[in-house]
Chain A
Amino acid sequence: MTAVGRRAVLVGGAVVAGGGIVGGAVALRPDRPAVPVPTAGGETVAFHGPHQAGITTPAQAHAVFTALDLRPGSGPGDVRRLLRMLTDDAGRLTAGRPPLEASDPELPALPSRLTVTFGFGPGLFDVLGRGGECPAVLRDLPAFATDRLDPRWSGGDLLLQVCSDDPLPLSYALRRLVRSARSIATVRWTQRGFGPARGSEPAGTTPRNLMGQRDGTANPPAGPELDDTVWVRDGPGWLRGGSMLVLRRVRMELDTWDDFGREGKHMAVARRLDTGAPVTGGGEFDDVDPRMVDGRGIPIAIGGAHVLRATARDPGERMLRRGYSYDDGPTTDGLPDAGLLFAAYQADAARAFVPVQKRLAESDVMNQWITHVGSSTWAIPPGCESLTKLP
């Protein structure tokens, strides 16, 4: 008898053997053999390709960002050994298979679009003896007046961004990746985030953040515009086909936000909560019209509205906002401890994140409720194109 069949019997008289999904096979009835059924859990995203997965991949429901620090005394050979292990693990896990030395195939069997994305922090360039090749904006991201950065959520040498629609294979992937890494690197911080459950709204719907706003409306649709936005086209050859990630932990003052008037919430962003449409009219994907005035000649969208400040003013300012909500609360006093893991992918952070965040730090009505409390910057190398490029 197959494992699936045995489990179905153990479930007893249940008409449907709940939890009988193993490796994409479902035992619908105990007396019938298991048959392969396509499930969302069995969906995979290829690890190998010209670009790393987990960037233009439609956002999975769950994400974890873990920053590693290379142990003191590490050299280029250690980085090489580390990446060799991690990319091998990632290739297997994202295909629904265990790491080489692991013996439990059930845990990774339903990857649910698992992706593992690697980012290089400034310290990794230094260990390689190539500190000068770290893009300046990533090494020295400008400080912004509204920053309240906590080292606990900032910096790092190597980023693991692991995403999946299912937190179980995600948790397994992270624990195995970190296990492979820990003889060479320590864990600096881990930040977990979530988006809407898969299928809760039609695919492609802009997700809501914890303030209730549709967040990511301005993201370019898949295609050439998205590619131009995120992938490095020029600059150092090793980064071409890669990207730059600025990851900010943005705390939200949800207690006061919840008590703020609904019209005020619309005005703070210049978009409506329900539809995401501009307060000046149109649909979600229309721009806010800053020149539109009401009957008394007063602009309908206020000048400090978030969207007006955040909108790209030239193509170079575009970013892919691939954010995830976090909720680490409530505190012992019953207050929220929540916000947004703002993950912005772009071809050049000096041209995109920096000028946009500068505008927002200067003036954004939303600054009353949001504070950047963590920051890290990552060079995202291109993907593992093929396995013929071994050292």
Chain B
Amino acid sequence: MSSILRRGLLAAAAVATLALSACGSPDAPAAPAGTPASAAAGLTVTDAWVKPADSGMTAVFGTLTATGAPVTVVSATTSASPRTELHEVVMNGGAMTMRPKEGGFVVDPAAAHELTPGGDHVMVMDLASPIRPGDQVRVTFTLAGGETVEFTALAKDTTGGEETYSDHAGMNG
């Protein structure tokens, strides 16, 4: 988690509001999907979440929707680590293998592009500090046209998915 986000949480904890409204997610179903910035870029990101991890690697998931023309996500950065890659999972010799996705995520307006455990995902490497359940990670996508889309992913525990993000041996690139 970045020092900026950590400072934000600590400041909030110091205020220690008792209201439920102090919580919630940026893309809960009652709220319009995405942020104005992302809508302007022609891409909305909803249902973003991140798998908690103590160290090493983890991944961000969510639903990407192109609101107009097809959009390509070419890179990502996060508040959680200095190193992020866009990954896909492919069958390789009977095993599920992760590898960087050539050309990034191409989001067609005809269908939502799902980032899921066992599928395309945003790989977060060299975690600066643990991501615990309920933490928030800021993610910034850079699109092919140079625009950026920012969103928040909520850390939620799961044992789902084929991959184990702490296992470097399964990496191929």
Q: A256–B128 Cα gap in the complex (Å)?
A: 66
**Is B18's CB under 8 angstroms from A387's CB?**
no
Residue of B nearest to A91 (CB): B28
Interface of A, secondary structure class, is loop
Task: Give the contacting residue for B25; candidates A77, A82, A179, A387; CB below 8 A.
Answer: A387
Interface of B, secondary structure class, is loop
CB of A120 to closest CB in B, whole Å: 7
**Is A87's CB under 8 angstroms from B20's CB?**
yes
**Is B16's CB under 8 angstroms from A130's CB?**
yes
Q: Which of B66-74, B130-138, B139-147 contacts A (4 or more CB under 8 A)?
A: B130-138
- Give the A interface residue count (CB, 8 A): 48
**Is B13's CB under 8 angstroms from A77's CB?**
yes
Residues of A47-100 whose CB lies within 8 A of B = 47-48, 52, 75-77, 80-88, 91-92, 95, 97, 99-100
A381 at the B interface (CB under 8 A): yes
Question: Which has the most chain A C-beta neighbours within 10 Å: B20, B48, B135?
Answer: B20
Contacts of B19 in A (CB 8 A): 238, 381-382, 389
Q: A108–B51 Cα gap in the complex (Å)?
A: 22
B54 at the A interface (CB under 8 A): no
B49 at the A interface (CB under 8 A): yes
- Give the B interface residue count (CB, 8 A): 38
Counted as pairs of residues, one from A and one from B, with CB atoms less than 8 Å apart, the total is: 138
Contacts of B132 in A (CB 8 A): 81, 183
**Is B29's CB under 8 angstroms from A101's CB?**
no
CB of B170 to closest CB in A, whole Å: 21
Question: Which has the most chain A C-beta neighbours within 10 Å: B22, B26, B132, B136?
Answer: B22
Task: Give the contacting residue for A128; candidates B16, B134, B155; CB below 8 A.
Answer: B16
Task: Give the contacting residue for B133; candidates A81, A120, A381, A391; CB below 8 A.
Answer: A81
**Is A103's CB under 8 angstroms from B160's CB?**
yes
**Is A128's CB under 8 angstroms from B23's CB?**
no
Q: A92–B27 Cα gap in the complex (Å)?
A: 10
Q: A52–B9 Cα gap in the complex (Å)?
A: 24
Residues of B110-140 whose CB lies within 8 A of A = 116, 132-136
Query: What 8 A-B pairs are tightest by C-beta distance, nearest first?
Result: A81-B134, A391-B12, A91-B28, A88-B25, A101-B156, A100-B49, A83-B23, A84-B23
Binding site for B on A (CB under 8 A): 46-48, 52, 75-77, 80-88, 91-92, 95, 97, 99-101, 103, 118, 120, 125, 128-130, 133, 179-180, 183-184, 238-239, 379, 381-387, 389-391
Starting from the known contacts A47-B28, A87-B25, 7 additional A-B residue pairs (CB-CB under 8 Å) come to A47-B30, A48-B28, A76-B13, A91-B29, A101-B156, A386-B31, A387-B31
Binding site for A on B (CB under 8 A): 8-13, 16-26, 28-31, 47-49, 51, 116, 132-136, 152, 154-158, 160
